[in-house]
Amino acid sequence: MLILALMGPAVSGCESTQEVESQDLVSRGDVTLTPNANVVTYYTASWTSELSGRTRLEIDDGDVPVLVTDWQDGPNAVDVPVLGLWPSHTFSARLVDETEGLLARSEFTTAAGPTEMSLTTTNGTATWGGYLVTGIANSLLQTVVVLAPNGQPVWYWQTEGSYFSRACLRRDGLGLWLLRMPPSLDGLVPGSILSVAWDGTVLLDVSPFGHEGQGPSHDLLELEDGRLLFLAPDDRAVDGTVYTGHTLYALETDGSETQLWSAWDDFTPDSTFRSPPDWTHANALRWNEDRKTLWVSLRGLNALVELDPETWRPINEFGGPNPSFEVSAGTVPPSGQHQFDFRGGRLAVHDNRDVEQGSRVVVYDVDFESRPGQIVETWEFVPNPPFFDYIMGDVSWLDDDGLVVTWSAAGMIEERRLDGASPWSIQLDLGALFLYTQRVDALPGTTPVSPG
Q: What is the DSSP letter of 118?
A: G
Amino acid letter for position 332: V
Tens of each residue's pLDDT in the chain, 452 residues: 555 553 333 222 233 333 334 444 457 888 999 999 999 999 999 999 888 789 999 999 977 899 999 999 988 999 999 999 999 999 999 999 988 788 888 889 999 987 766 678 999 999 999 999 999 988 678 899 999 999 999 999 998 877 889 999 999 999 999 999 866 555 556 889 999 999 999 999 999 999 988 899 999 999 999 999 999 999 998 888 889 999 999 999 999 999 999 999 999 987 666 566 689 999 999 999 999 999 999 999 999 999 999 999 999 999 999 999 999 999 999 999 999 999 999 999 999 999 999 999 999 999 999 989 999 999 999 999 999 999 999 999 999 999 999 999 999 999 999 999 999 999 998 778 999 999 999 999 999 986 54
Residues 198 and 345 in one domain: yes
Residues 99 and 139 in one domain: no
Residues 105 and 125 in one domain: no
pLDDT of amino acid 377: 97
pLDDT of amino acid 116: 66
Strand pairing category for 228-238 and 373-381: unpaired
Residues 37 and 54 in one domain: yes
Domain count, the chain: 2
Residues 241 and 261 in one domain: yes
CA angle 164-350-428, nearest 5°? Answer: 55
Residues 227 and 304 in one domain: yes
Q: CA 147, CA 357: separation in Å to the nearest integer?
A: 31
Residues 364 and 261 in one domain: yes
Cis amide leading into 153 (omega within 30): no
Of residues 392, 439, 397, the one with CA closest to residue 411:
392
Residues 395 and 287 in one domain: yes
SS3 (DSSP) at 119: helix
- Name the domain boundary from 109, 133, 167: 109
Amino acid letter for position 213: G
- Give 400-442 pLDDT, tens digit per residue: 999 999 999 999 999 999 999 999 999 998 778 999 999 999 9
Amino acid letter for position 171: R
pLDDT of amino acid 301: 94
Q: Which domain holds residue 151?
A: 115-448
The backbone region for 119, taken as left when phi is positive above 0, alpha when psi lies in -120 to 50, beta otherwise, is alpha
Element (H, E) at 145: strand 141-147
Q: CA 90, CA 74: separation in Å to the nearest integer?
A: 28
- Name the domain boundary from 109, 139, 171: 109
Q: CA 405, CA 401: separation in Å to the nearest integer?
A: 13
Task: Read off the CATH number of the domain in which 82 is found.
Answer: 2.60.40
- Name the domain boundary from 58, 78, 109: 109
pLDDT of amino acid 275: 63
Length of the chain equals 452
Walk across the sheet containing 241-251 and list its strands: 217-222, 228-238, 241-251, 257-262
pLDDT of amino acid 435: 92
Task: Read off the CATH number of the domain in which 435 is found.
Answer: 2.120.10.30
Q: CA 320, CA 306: separation in Å to the nearest integer?
A: 12
C-alpha count within 13 angstroms, C-beta hemisphere, residue 284: 33
pLDDT of amino acid 335: 95
